[in-house]
Amino acid sequence: MHDLIIVGGGPAGLAAGIYAVRFGLNTLILERSEISGQIALADVVENYPGFPAISGLELMEKYKSHAKEAGVETKITEVISVRSEGEQKNRLYGQRRP
């Protein structure tokens, strides 16, 4: 059982996963294809913090490496639907708030 499941393994999903693991949540990221997001298609990403210029693919490799080292679990699968369980979702979040 996971505390948090993130749908989408692009930059935002991986960043959210890294922060969630740091916060103590057992986190899973679901992505329908290779973890990368649209940024991986960019030849050059300029002025990204920490990198004056880097390829999108190289940047996403760094994201993936960071997430893996942080303990984020990822799974390649297609999400067909999402069901809210209401109070359970709120209760889990409420228990973990600082």
C-alpha distances out from residue 22 to 18, 38, 53, 74, Å: 6, 25, 28, 16
Q: What digits encode the pLDDT tens for the residues 43-84?
A: 999 888 888 999 989 998 999 999 999 999 999 888 888 777
Range of the domain at 90: 4-96
Phi-psi category of 29—alpha, beta or left, where left has phi over 0 and alpha has psi -120 to 50?
A: beta
Looking at every residue in the chain, the average pLDDT score rounds to 84
Question: Residue 26: which pLDDT band, with cuts at 50, 70 and 90?
Answer: very high
Separation of alpha carbons 44 and 58, rounded Å:
10
In the chain, the percentage of residues whose pLDDT exceeds 70 is 86
For residue 54, give both structure tokens. Answer: 């880097």
C-alpha distances out from residue 70 to 45, 62, 88, Å: 24, 12, 26
The total of structural domains in the chain comes to 1
Lowest mean pLDDT among 17-31, 51-65, 78-92: 78-92
CATH number of the domain residue 20 falls in: 3.50.50.60
Higher pLDDT, 40 or 9: 9
User: What's the confidence (pLDDT) of residue 35?
Assistant: 67
